[in-house]
Amino acid sequence: MHIKDGEISSFSYGMGCMKFVEKTLKSDDYEKILKYGLLPTIEEQYHQANAIFRQDFAPCHKSKITKRWLTERNIEILPSPANSPNLNPNENVWNDIKKAIRNEIVLPRTKAELKSVITRIWDRFSENTIDKLITQMPRRCAEVIRQKGFSTKY
């Protein structure tokens, strides 16, 4: 997304990479994920374009260390309310993943099987699906503003 003079435009370059995290993240752990996951994704998918990063309010996301790290790299964070699934396309993606898991012929029974199924589903997501979610962001933002922060159809 790009916000200029109150106008919001959006574009997407796909899903990016997925990493499994098996512990509660501290700021230094999150910084490594950003360094080895986010930065290569931005470089690969956005090149020199300005990307706006969306994250939630997990403690490691809002720490001073993380904020400084992002600021030093000129990575803009999309401001959003503390609890707004209306503005988080990730919620749609995870909802689709959960539906796809429930539709599996054989449900995963172990953590390894679950990771395998999630990875397979993640890899199947089309760029069109993600582009649609990202393209809807300006409309979603406008609707949340219109609803004064209350629930929307999204």
pLDDT digits (tens, 9 = 90+) for 8-47: 444 455 666 777 888 898 999 999 999 988 888 888 776 6
pTM of the shown model: 0.68
Q: Are 39 and 73 in contact (CB under 8 A)?
A: yes
State the chain's maximal CA–CA distance in angstroms: 51
Round to whole Å and give the CA distance between 138 and 68: 27
Q: List the chain domain ranges.
A: 2-146
Q: Are 134 and 11 in contact (CB under 8 A)?
A: yes
More confident residue, 105 or 129: 105
Domain 2-146 class in CATH: alpha beta
Residue for token pair 């509660």:
24
Q: For 36-83, how does the pLDDT look when each residue is reduced to its tens digit (9 = 90+)?
A: 888 888 887 766 566 678 787 789 988 999 999 999 988 888 776 666
Residue for token pair 């964070």:
77
Instruction: State the chain's mean pLDDT as an integer.
Output: 80
More confident residue, 51 or 5: 51
